[in-house]
């Protein structure tokens, strides 16, 4: 395998002086609760120690840095905790904030950890606002949190955009060429290209490599902009694994400015049919038939819970326990799923060195890859396996590791896709090459609107193109299970209508799988479990009734027009020959919205679920509701 990683960004030097606290603490503003520790550290015995026993206190160790407005910075710190507890489960962490002439402008606040932990890294990226006049890094315990935390190896670095960033649009799965169609690549040029050239002064070309040999070249004839799609008809003649390179160069003289590559694979006509794959429209295919993953996150799997989920019509389980418990327990999880007539997504998301839940033995990137591949090779033939869960919200600072892991797994297991779930919606396009299937996890209730589900699904799909495989993670849990004090009192679970609306909005915007979060959260509140599970089961029964139309994915003569981004709708063509179309309309906002059916004169049947006020082509929905109708031409 030729492994060529995309240089997503070029890292500048660390801007934090004395980042390992071996020298003087110049520039740091330290409250009384913070001191230099000389008995605890990562590489030596020195670190910054914060000890706070007063939940009303809010001490921050802060350092003002000369950060340029309008630029992106990556920041991180290694953290160790002892006895950390309190209202905010973000715990011990790090943040980067900015101020301007008119005051506070915002910041980035990644979650850290509670309780007792060994050293782990917290990291994030932050775009400095254009109006910023000062920015500061802070090491701290979240408000209302007490305990002890140590901080070490603190970093802040300018993220220099690579001149060329790209992702594969088609083929939409692992670079596996389909029988027909060109290869389509989405590209993004850096805001400041070398030599100050503009996109109009550049050329985008393609090279197809078989190992070290170039077997074909082409040049994109279309005009270049800062972002766009480029196509090539380059295609190998014989089956095998190739590398497609995209090269950005100056038109006057051909000086190369940037390069990106992705596997391009021509499978042999007699190659075995994969046990699980992704088709040209982005649907999961199991044993030759389309399969819509419909499941829940779980802490672990047992026969009773598997039977309960299967009885409720779910077909997939995603246990966080994953590789825990050793080979016998892993096999037992897969066996349990298969016996229940379900599929299991096997989590290997903790097998990255330096992450909070990584096994102690995984102490380097090489060891992490070795562990991941050992699990892939051990369980890739199990019939209960659906996919590998490879990333749960890891930051872009691990981008190269994520791409490497994706390529290693794709080569080791041609029978199962990988799945990554992110909350980093603002940069979701940068994760496009890190997994076969992407998903995002909008959890808006109660602070935000259900329409966040539509927004995040739409943006996730845009990151990979209209036929990309997207498995979304809608909210069914109560935030009270993750909060304390007043924040817990203010939380509540989503209502049945809100859960429906979020799930249906995901469907409308193109999700091809729904894995709800989560089974174990429902069990945090035993007094309400039965009632809440009944609502989840009812919602799932409705979803399953809609799936024949979604899976058939036929076009119709109608579209749904909406005056609000909070309200979306879609019409699927007949699931069976001669059958009706399916109309699904949703309103995830707090205002009544009227949607309009554009197309032939509609004839709506009795509602399959919900109720809209209908007047000709117009359907009016109350806030946070949805409705489904069979639809035929009038």
Residue 10, pLDDT > 80, answer no
- Cβ contacts of residue 432 below 8 Å, gap of 6+? 167, 168, 186, 438, 463, 464
Last residue of a domain, one of 552, 573, 605: 552
Q: Is 271 within a domain?
A: no
Q: How confident is the model at residue 237 (pLDDT cuts 50, 70, 90)?
A: very high
Summary mean pLDDT of the chain: 94
Cα 259 to Cα 200, 203, 212, 477, distances in angstroms: 17, 12, 16, 44
Last residue of a domain, one of 266, 296, 320: 266
The predicted model gives 22-51 an average pLDDT of: 94
Predicted structure pTM score: 0.88
Q: What is the pLDDT of residue 4?
A: 38
Domain match, 14 and 111 both: yes
Q: What is the pLDDT of residue 5?
A: 39
Domain match, 20 and 84 both: yes
Q: Which residue has the tokens 């799609």?
A: 229
CATH number, domain containing residue 92:
2.60.120.260
Domain match, 438 and 574 both: no
Domain match, 469 and 546 both: yes
| Preceding omega of 111 cis (within 30 degrees of 0) | no
Q: What is the pLDDT of residue 426?
A: 85
Domain match, 50 and 183 both: no
Domain total in the chain: 4
The predicted model gives 215-221 an average pLDDT of: 96
Range(s) of the domain holding residue 410: 276-552
Q: What is the pLDDT of residue 222?
A: 86
Q: Is 402 within a domain?
A: yes
The predicted model gives 500-506 an average pLDDT of: 98
81-135 tens-digit pLDDT: 999 998 777 899 999 999 999 999 999 999 898 999 999 999 988 989 989 999 9
Q: How confident is the model at residue 11 (pLDDT cuts 50, 70, 90)?
A: low
Of the given ranges (64-68, 125-129, 483-487, 490-494), which has the lowest mean pLDDT? 483-487
Domain match, 379 and 465 both: yes
If one compares 281 and 357, the residue with the highest pLDDT of the two is 281
Q: What is the pLDDT of residue 12?
A: 78
- Cβ contacts of residue 627 below 8 Å, gap of 6+? 584, 585, 607, 609, 610, 611, 612, 619, 621
**% of the chain residues with pLDDT over 90:** 87
Last residue of a domain, one of 511, 528, 552: 552
- Cβ contacts of residue 19 below 8 Å, gap of 6+? 153, 154, 155
Report the chain's terminal Cα–Cα distance, integer Å: 57
Domain match, 131 and 194 both: no
Nearest to 534 by CA among 288, 311, 334, 279: 311
Domain match, 464 and 541 both: yes
Domain match, 310 and 247 both: no
Q: Is 2 within a domain?
A: no
Q: Is 434 within a domain?
A: yes
Residue 1, pLDDT > 60, answer no
Nearest to 290 by CA among 27, 22, 549: 549
What is the Cα 430 distance to its own chain's centre? Answer: 10
Rounded to 5°, the CA angle 552-557-560 comes to: 95
- Reduce the DSSP state of residue 624 to 3 states and report it: coil
Residue 7, pLDDT > 80, answer no
- Cβ atoms of 80 and 154 within 8 Å: the answer is no
Nearest to 125 by CA among 456, 350, 434, 430: 430
Q: What is the pLDDT of residue 197?
A: 94
Residue 6, pLDDT > 50, answer no
Cβ count near 531 (within 10 Å): 10
| Residue 45 φ then ψ, to 5° | -110, 25
- Cβ atoms of 557 and 633 within 8 Å: the answer is yes
Per 3-state DSSP, what percentage of the chain is helix, strand, and coil (rounded to 5)? 20, 40, 40
Q: How confident is the model at residue 193 (pLDDT cuts 50, 70, 90)?
A: very high
Domain match, 236 and 346 both: no
Q: How confident is the model at residue 3 (pLDDT cuts 50, 70, 90)?
A: very low
Q: How confident is the model at residue 608 (pLDDT cuts 50, 70, 90)?
A: very high
Domain match, 46 and 105 both: yes
- Cβ contacts of residue 22 below 8 Å, gap of 6+? 44, 46
360-413 tens-digit pLDDT: 899 899 999 999 999 999 999 999 999 999 999 998 888 999 999 999 999 999
Domain match, 245 and 189 both: yes
């Amino acid at each position: 395998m030729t492994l060529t990683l995309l240089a997503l960004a070029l890292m500048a030097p660390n801007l934090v002086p004395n980042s390992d606290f071996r020298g003087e603490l110049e520039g740091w503003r330290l409250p009384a609760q913070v001191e230099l520790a000389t008995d605890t550290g990562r590489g030596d015995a020195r670190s910054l120690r914060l000890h706070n026993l007063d939940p009303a206190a809010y001490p921050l160790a802060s350092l003002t840095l000369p950060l340029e407005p309008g630029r992106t910075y990556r920041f991180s710190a290694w953290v160790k905790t002892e006895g950390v507890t309190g209202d905010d489960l973000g715990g011990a962490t790090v943040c980067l904030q900015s101020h301007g002439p008119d005051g506070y402008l915002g910041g980035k606040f990644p979650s850290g950890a509670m309780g007792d932990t060994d050293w782990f890294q917290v990291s994030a990226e932050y775009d400095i606002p254009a109006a910023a006049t000062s920015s500061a890094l802070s090491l701290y315990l979240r408000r209302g949190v007490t305990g002890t935390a140590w901080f070490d190896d603190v970093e802040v670095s300018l993220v220099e955009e690579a001149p060329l960033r790209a992702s594969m649009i088609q083929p939409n799965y692992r670079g596996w060429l389909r029988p027909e169609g060109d290869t389509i690549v989405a590209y993004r040029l850096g805001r400041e290209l070398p030599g100050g050239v503009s996109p109009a002064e550049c050329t985008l070309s393609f090279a197809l490599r078989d190992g070290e040999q170039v077997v074909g070249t082409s040049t994109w004839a279309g005009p270049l902009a800062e972002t766009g799609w480029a196509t090539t008809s380059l295609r190998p003649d014989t089956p095998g694994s190739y590398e497609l390179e995209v090269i950005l160069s100056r038109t006057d003289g051909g000086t190369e400015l940037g390069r990106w590559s992705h596997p391009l694979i021509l499978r042999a006509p007699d190659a075995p049919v994969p046990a699980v794959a992704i088709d040209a429209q982005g649907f999961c295919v199991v044993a030759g038939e389309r399969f819509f993953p419909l499941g829940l996150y779980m802490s672990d799997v047992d026969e009773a819970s598997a039977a309960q989920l299967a009885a409720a019509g779910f077909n997939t389980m995603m246990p966080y326990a994953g590789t825990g418990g050793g080979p016998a327990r892993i096999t037992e999880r897969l066996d349990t799923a298969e016996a229940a007539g379900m599929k299991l997504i096997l989590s290997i998301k903790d097998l990255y060195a330096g992450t909070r839940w990584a096994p102690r033995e995984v102490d380097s990137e090489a060891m992490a890859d070795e562990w991941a591949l050992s699990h892939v090779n051990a369980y890739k033939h199990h019939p209960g396996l659906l996919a590998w869960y490879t990333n749960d919200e890891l930051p872009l600072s691990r981008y190269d590791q994520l791409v490497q892991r994706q390529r290693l797994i794709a080569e080791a297991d041609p029978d199962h896709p990988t799945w990554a779930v992110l909350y980093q919606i603002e940069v979701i396009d940068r994760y496009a090459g890190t997994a076969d299937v992407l998903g995002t996890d909008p959890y808006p209730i109660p602070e935000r609107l259900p329409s966040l589900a539509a927004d995040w699904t739409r943006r996730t799909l845009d990151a990979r193109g209209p036929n990309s495989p997207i498995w979304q993670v809608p909210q069914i849990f109560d935030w009270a299970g993750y909060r304390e004090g007043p924040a817990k009192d203010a939380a509540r679970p989503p209502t049945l209508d809100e859960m429906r609306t979020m799930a249906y909005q995901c469907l409308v915007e193109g999700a091809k799988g729904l894995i709800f979060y989560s089974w174990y959260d429902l069990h945090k509140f035993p007094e309400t479990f039965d009632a809440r599970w009944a609502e989840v089961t009812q919602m799932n029964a409705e979803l399953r009734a809609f799936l024949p139309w979604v899976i058939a994915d036929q076009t119709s003569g109608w579209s749904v027009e909406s005056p609000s981004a909070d309200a979306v709708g879609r019409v699927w063509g007949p699931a069976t020959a001669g059958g009706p179309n399916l109309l699904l309309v949703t309103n995830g906002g707090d205002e009544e919205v009227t949607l309009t059916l554009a197309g032939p004169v509609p004839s709506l049947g009795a509602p399959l679920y919900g109720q809209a006020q209908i007047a000709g082509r117009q359907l009016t929905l109350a806030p946070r509701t949805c409705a489904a109708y069979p639809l035929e031409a009038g």
